[in-house]
Amino acid sequence: MPLVNHVKKEIHAKIVYYGPEGVGKSTSLRYVFSRIRPHLRGELKSVPATGSSSLFFDFSPFEQPLFGGYRLRLHLYTLQGRVVNPAAWKMILKGIDGLMIVSDASPGGILSDQQSLTQLRDLIGSYGVSLDGIPTVLQLNKYDLPARISVENAARELGLESCRACSTSALNGKGVLETLTALSHLVIGRIAERDDVPRDRTADADVRTGETALEDVPTPVAGSNDEVFWNVSRGDKHHQSVSSEDSFRSTTGEVSVADDGVRVEGGTVMIPLDILTPSGGRQRFVVTVVVALDEKR
């Protein structure tokens, strides 16, 4: 369950990257860390964990507070390399709020993926929790391999047809941020359901979860064809942080650039937006775009 610190006005949620050895968990985590703006992230740390080595860091996915002025802090964890003692995973999985199941897209990797998933069910079951009770996304990694299984087949073989599934290549980062964004969307939706989380009085109190974006808080989830809405250090496209104006209005209301205008600092463009919600309230959030030259050209 996410931890709410009412003194500091912070909400802390824990996300674990789980999977067998060599599927790309640590590579994915390190890629995410490299793409988050330094002032929004903590230190990337590696410490011993019951005979293994854990890798973790925390960051804020938004410049602006959420949920009535409370800031969200996501804590990402995984274990590196071979894990001999399952107790290491049990310790890391304690108190999770979101689960990224990382699997191998190569045809020969499905067996180890299945064995790893069986162990996962046993480990979280010891805490009285099932996969159905945890926001979960399947990350099918190594999708850049010439021989690979499809996302649909992988989900079916692993019994995860009901989970959101995404293909990635952690080596070049393709799909890694989008996959984390999808999971974060589910975690934020679960947080919004809690009675002890404050709501903005000007916002519509009915915050919905699922495949649609949250209507009353800025969401890090872009449309299926859009780039993710993270404040990242540099991006590949950044051409649509949110969906088109028409589709945005259909769920949130009128959108306009705030009176204080667009700010440009070096290669960073900050666009303050005022949103008039269907309930008559007004919200503010900032779209941050980092412009960088393609070093390959």
Residues 127, 120, 172, 220, CA torsion sign: negative
Tokens of 172: 């070049």
β-bridge partners, 276: 254, 282
Does the structure show a pLDDT above 60 at 103? yes
User: Cβ–Cβ contacts within 10 Å for residue 186, how many?
Assistant: 22
pTM of the complete model beyond 0.85:
no
Report pLDDT for 125. Answer: 95
Does the structure show a pLDDT above 60 at 238? no
- How far apart (Å, rounded) are the C-alpha atoms in residues 19 and 225? 27
Go through the domains of the chain in sequence order and give each one's CATH number.
Answer: 3-191 (3.40.50.300)
Average pLDDT score, the chain: 76
CA neighbours closer than 13 Å in the CB half-sphere of residue 100: 32
Q: Which segment of 1-15, 111-125, 181-195, 233-247 scores lowest on mean pLDDT?
A: 233-247
* Residue 247: band (very low, low, confident or very high) from pLDDT cuts 50, 70, 90: very low
* Residue 266: band (very low, low, confident or very high) from pLDDT cuts 50, 70, 90: low
259 compared with 61, residue with greater pLDDT: 61
- How far apart (Å, rounded) are the C-alpha atoms in residues 119 and 121? 5
Average pLDDT over residues 193-205: 57
The phi and psi torsions of 147 (rounded to 5 degrees) equal -100, 115
* Residue 142: band (very low, low, confident or very high) from pLDDT cuts 50, 70, 90: very high
Q: Which segment of 171-185, 190-204, 235-249, 267-281 scores lowest on mean pLDDT?
A: 235-249
Burial of 76 (0-12, 13-18, 19+ CB in 10 A): buried
Task: Name the E strands within 60-107.
Answer: 71-80, 98-104
Tokens of 193: 């359901």
